[in-house]
Every structure is written in C-alpha cells, then in structure tokens.
Amino acid sequence: MQAVLIIIGDEILSGNTIDTNSNFMAAQLKEIGIPVKQILTVSDEVESIKSALKLGFEMGNLVISTGGLGPTNDDVTKKAFKEFFNDEIIFHQETYDHLERLFIKRKRTRLLDLNRSQAEVLSKAVIFQNDNGTAPGQMVSENGKTAIFLPGVPYEMKPLFSHKVIPWLMRNFQLGHLLTRVVSVVGIPESLLSDTIQQWESELPDHLSLSYLPIGNRIKLRISGSSDDRIQLENELEEQVQKLKPYITGHILSFNGNEIQDIVKEILLTKNLTISSAESCTGGGIARLLTSCSGSSGYFSGGIIAYDARKKIEILGVSENTIRQKTTVSQEIAQEMSLGCQKLFKTNIAVATTGVAGPSSDEFGNEVGMVFYSIRIDEKEYTLKLFLPHLDRNDFMNFVSQRVLQKLAELLVHPEKREE
C-alpha cells in the first residue's frame, strides 16, 4: 500500500500558514508500514482537488486529504470528492446527532443551517466522527482505491487521524513495516563523512537506503528499510549500525535521538544531571525545546528570559559594571548569566545566550546576528561566539537554541574534546 497526501488550502499556497498536517500523517503512516509517495498541496478549487485525486491514484492506492471542509463558501472539498466518485450527498442522522451533542457540550444553542450541512455526507462513505469540530472525516473505497478526507484544523485532524483513521487502516489492510535508524554525527563535514563511510555505504544491502540530513553542524545518517518481518528488519538495521560505528568513532553523538532535545534528554538522564537556562536573544527558545520532551521535569528545573538588561542584574546577578564596560552582548555577560542561572536554579548545568536577533543592531551598536553563549557544566565553563547575520529574526532564535543544545550534547558525550 502506498499513500499520497493532498493538502488543501489557499492559506498554505499563499505562505500564510505552514502545513504541519502532512508531517503528522506521514510519520504515523510510516509507523504502520505505509510509505507516502508524494504530497500535493492544492488550492480550494473543485477542479484542482479532482486533478490531485486523479494524480494521487496514479501513484498510490490510498489518498488522504486534509482541509476545505468548513461550513463556509470557500470550502469545496466535499463537492470535489462527490464529483470524483460520482456519488451523491445524503443527510446523515448519526452525524447530525453527534453535532447536536457537541453543541450542547460547548453550550452553543443554535444549530444553524450551515452546521446542519456538516451532517451531509457522501452516500458511499464510512464516517469518522469528529469530537473536536463540526466536519466529520469520510472514507470512500472503490476498485482497490481508498480515499479519505479530513478537516484541516490540526487540533481536529490529529485526534481523528490517530484514533480513528490509523486503527481503521490497520484493521482493513495487511501492512508491512517501515523502519528507520538515525545515527547523529558531529564534528565532520558532510562531504568528508561521505568519504569516510564510503566503503560501508557501498556494502549496504540494496533493500536498505541511506540518507544524509545536515542540521546545524550535526548530520543525521538515516538508514531505512521495509519488510514484512519487523524483528528481522530491526536486527538488520542494528547490524548495519554496528558495522558503521568503527568508521566514525569520536564523531557519534547518539544512536537514538532524532531531535537534539531528545538526544540531550537521553544524555542528562543517563548521567543524572539537571539543567536550567538563562536566555536573552533566544527568548525562551531553549526552554521550549527542552520542555517539548515528555519527562523533562525530571532534569529541567526552569529558566529565565532576562530580556531587559535590568532583569539580568536583578534576577541573575549580572554586574552592572560589566554591562557598562562590555555591553550586554559580550562573552563576560554570557558567563555571568550562566553562573547566575546555575546558582538560582541549583542545577548541574546552566546555559545562557545573549545576542542581537535583529532586525537592527542594539543600542550599543552590536551587529545583528552576533551572539555569545555560555555553557556551565558543574565548575567548568565554555563560552562560544556565533555570527549569523544572514538569518532572519526567528531563524536566528531557532538556530541558536538548537546550536546551544547541540554544543552541550557534544561537550557531554565527548568530554575529551572540551579543551579544543
């Protein structure tokens, strides 16, 4: 079984909204052994949606769409599916009852005609009731082709997909297994890495594939394969990871984590270390990354966003004198921030950032893109400087947040390189 996803929405094509639905669905489909062949992002037009359906079924036998199911005039997905499947729209009492219950729960009294139209479904469809919105998901299966359309609002789509669509697919199809192992490598450029592991790569069995994914100065090596036999595939991937090891000793950051915060979590829990953060130019980005992991309260004590210079002095105990002499964007302030943070939160590790996110230079004339960050691990301290003038404000904040955690992971995994 191969899937094609259709993401419907003018707001995505116009750059107003980032589509996160396709990522969510692709990851979950992969878990149950269904690869996504292609993602088509199309506008809210009947003809565009019908063309995408046609194209989708040329490439796969399962097509899943999100979006275009609102009660308003700009939403036409249901009409497009109806025409594509030569079906008709019928009133569905069960869905109407479900809507009524939802309205009572939300303390809304008037079920308008527009809402009533949400209970109109394709006559051939299996209905997936939506507990968090008015548009149900619908599924039509014909001649070995299965089409599912779902609402586009992520908070409605996601539970519907995880709790209803995925179980339905697992019940109704015989599915294989798609597995991936990620090895995170640092301190070696992509081209040199490729050179270094050339022999191993050339001996990789044909049914396993390798990709290189550079993120900051980390490279994720992804080894993927598919099989009906999960255990055998797991063993095969493990065997390849073991074969790869000797080629890249000294550069391996993790064999498990996908995101840097997962890798940091793994290391901190293993070494039984706690962490806190004092952020200026990253504005909470580091704390947000750390807390995105479940169980982070086990190692993350808390953080300060000391945006105002005065708060750096009052809360973190940074010296007013140092600010006057060195400005807030300096190695010295980064160091005083991490020290103050470590004391305040009483953690093994404290990280601190200070820099100019832009779009213009700060009141001291420090250039946009300049940043100092400090990492304290017990009594040892490391300050690093970055200059990233080519990044816009939010990319800068995200990049620096990622980089700080990555550097921390490097320092904890390869302490022998700390003195470099």
Could you say which residues in the range 361-390 bind a second copy, by CB under 8 A?
390
Total residues in contact with a second copy, by rule CB under 8 A: 108
Here the contacts of 97-102 (C-beta below 8 Å, separation 24 or greater) are 98/129, 98/136, 99/134, 102/131, 102/134
User: For residues 107 and 324, which CB has a smaller minimum distance to a second copy in the complex?
Assistant: 107
User: For residues 143 and 365, which CB has a smaller minimum distance to a second copy in the complex?
Assistant: 365
Position 359 contacts a second copy (CB under 8 A): yes
User: For residues 52 and 375, which CB has a smaller minimum distance to a second copy in the complex?
Assistant: 52
Residue with tokens 């992520």: 154
User: For residues 305 and 323, which CB has a smaller minimum distance to a second copy in the complex?
Assistant: 305
CB 369 within 8 A of CB 389: yes
Position 307 contacts a second copy (CB under 8 A): yes
CA dihedral in degrees (202, 207, 208, 214; nearest 10)?
Answer: 80
Q: To 10 degrees, what angle do helices 309-316 and 331-345 make?
A: 40
User: For residues 9 and 332, which CB has a smaller minimum distance to a second copy in the complex?
Assistant: 9
Q: Are strands 349-355 and 370-377 parallel, antiparallel or unpaired?
A: antiparallel
Q: Segment 173-202, which members bind a second copy (CB under 8 A)?
A: 178, 180, 189-192, 194-195, 201
Position 234 contacts a second copy (CB under 8 A): no
Position 391 contacts a second copy (CB under 8 A): yes
Cis peptide before 35 (omega within 30 of 0): no
Specify the stretch interacting with a second copy by CB under 8 A; choose among 168-176, 235-243, 264-272, 308-316.
308-316
- Pick from 129, 141, 226, 296: which binds a second copy (CB under 8 A)? 296
Binding track, positions 236-275, relative to a second copy; x by CB under 8 A? ----------------------x-----------------
- Pick from 90, 245, 394, 415: which binds a second copy (CB under 8 A)? 394
CB 60 within 8 A of CB 88: no
Q: Segment 117-156, which members bind a second copy (CB under 8 A)?
A: 131-132, 134, 153-155
Q: Segment 203-222, which members bind a second copy (CB under 8 A)?
A: 209-214, 222
- Pick from 102, 186, 237, 290: which binds a second copy (CB under 8 A)? 290
Q: Is the dihedral of CA 321, 323, 324, 326 positive or negative?
A: positive
Q: How far is the CB of 263 from a second copy (least distance, A)?
A: 15
Q: How far is CA 304 from CA 140, 177, 280, 348, 349, in A?
A: 52, 44, 9, 16, 14
- Pick from 1, 39, 175, 241: which binds a second copy (CB under 8 A)? 39
CB 354 within 8 A of CB 286: no
User: For residues 115 and 322, which CB has a smaller minimum distance to a second copy in the complex?
Assistant: 115
3-state secondary structure of 261: helix
| φ and ψ at residue 46, rounded to 5 degrees | -55, -45
Specify the stretch interacting with a second copy by CB under 8 A; choose among 139-147, 167-175, 225-233, 286-294.
286-294
Single out the residue of 277, 363, 278, 372 nearest to residue 331, CA to CA. Answer: 372
- Pick from 224, 335, 338, 374: which binds a second copy (CB under 8 A)? 224
Other Cβ atoms within 10 Å of 57 Cβ, number: 18
